[in-house]
Amino acid sequence: MVPWFFVSTEALQQQTVFLPPEVLHHLNVLRLQKGDLIVLSDGNGNAFKASLTGLEASKGEAVILGEALPTNEPLLQITLFPGITKGEKMEHVIRHSVELGVKKIVPVISKRSIVRLSRQKKDEKSRRWQKIARSAAGQCRRSFIPSVALPLEFDEMLDYWRKEKFEAIIVPWEEEKIAGLHRTLEAFPKGLKKVGVFTGPEGGISPEEMEQMRKIPGVYAVSLGPRILRAETAPLAVLSVLMCHFDW
């Protein structure tokens, strides 16, 4: 499999691409040599095959070969709103949701969140999570790097929903006993393009929060079955079913 790397959009506009330090590091780790094929993407939907024409410890060059590769991005654009979880659980959600094709990630601090972040911590976490998203996008050969927004408070998330006007917003809730995810999706039109998914933190979603969300058009509370999923498992389960239902 041809290795996949990200460079700037400006770099891809040139026939000869000068490779940045982080790409050089990976090339050396992989022990690639002059003449080897790689793929260069700008993370904004463009990707090209290229050939290494020079590779040293401190610099490297590649030449673009031919036309752009076809996009491998899903037609369904999903914004994930995961309740922030403790420790490495959140990194797990970020990494694997990128693999599953999510378009954007907006972490959320809600009523039952254990984790509370200062403004400085929000900035620090967002930068780290964005690096994880970039790395995951490269590993699974995506031509688009999902953005990780600054964490929002619950009320800020509701304002975001009103502004963005999603076609549907899926909210798995352990108290929902009737509407299953599969049955709910069957009622959606196949041409759906813009969907939001909100999953709660370790403490779950409070009835008061669910009541607030139901007031926004297009919000669907769903059950994920008789077993309670962990906070880091629920978003990945929903994303998998959504992508499968809408043909990835």
**Tens digit of each residue's pLDDT (9 = 90 or more) over 25-47:** 888 888 988 899 999 999 999 99
Q: How far is CA 198 from the centre of its chain?
A: 13
Query: Looking at the structure, do residues 121 and 199 belong to the same domain, yes or no?
Result: yes
Query: What is the structure's pLDDT at 108?
Result: 96
Q: Is 57 exposed, middle or buried (0-12, 13-18, 19+ CB in 10 A)?
A: exposed
Query: Looking at the structure, do residues 53 and 82 belong to the same domain, yes or no?
Result: no
Query: Looking at the structure, do residues 233 and 184 belong to the same domain, yes or no?
Result: yes
Query: What is the structure's pLDDT at 146?
Result: 97
Query: Looking at the structure, do residues 60 and 85 belong to the same domain, yes or no?
Result: no
Query: Looking at the structure, do residues 14 and 33 belong to the same domain, yes or no?
Result: yes
Query: Looking at the structure, do residues 116 and 167 belong to the same domain, yes or no?
Result: yes
**What is the mean pLDDT of each successive set of 10 residues along the chain, which is 248 residues long?**
91 91 86 91 93 85 90 92 92 96 96 84 92 94 95 96 95 93 90 94 94 96 92 96 86
Query: Looking at the structure, do residues 230 and 137 belong to the same domain, yes or no?
Result: yes
Query: What is the structure's pLDDT at 110?
Result: 92
CATH of the domain at 186: 3.40.1280.10
pLDDT in tens, 110-139: 988 887 888 888 899 999 999 999 999 999
Query: Looking at the structure, do residues 97 and 22 belong to the same domain, yes or no?
Result: no
Quote the CA–CA distance of 23 and 241 in Å, as a whole number. 34
Query: Looking at the structure, do residues 240 and 170 belong to the same domain, yes or no?
Result: yes
Quote the CA–CA distance of 61 and 84 in Å, as a whole number. 40
Query: Looking at the structure, do residues 56 and 107 belong to the same domain, yes or no?
Result: no
* 150 Rama class: left (phi>0) / alpha (psi -120 to 50) / beta: beta
Residue where one domain finishes, among candidates 49, 68, 87 = 68
How many domains does the structure of the chain reveal? 2
Q: Which domain holds residue 154?
A: 77-245
Q: Considering the entire predicted model, what is its pTM? A: 0.91
Query: Looking at the structure, do residues 95 and 210 belong to the same domain, yes or no?
Result: yes
Q: What is the CA radius of gyration of the chain?
A: 20
Quote the CA–CA distance of 229 and 212 in Å, as a whole number. 23
Q: What is the DSSP letter of 45?
A: S
Query: Looking at the structure, do residues 94 and 155 belong to the same domain, yes or no?
Result: yes
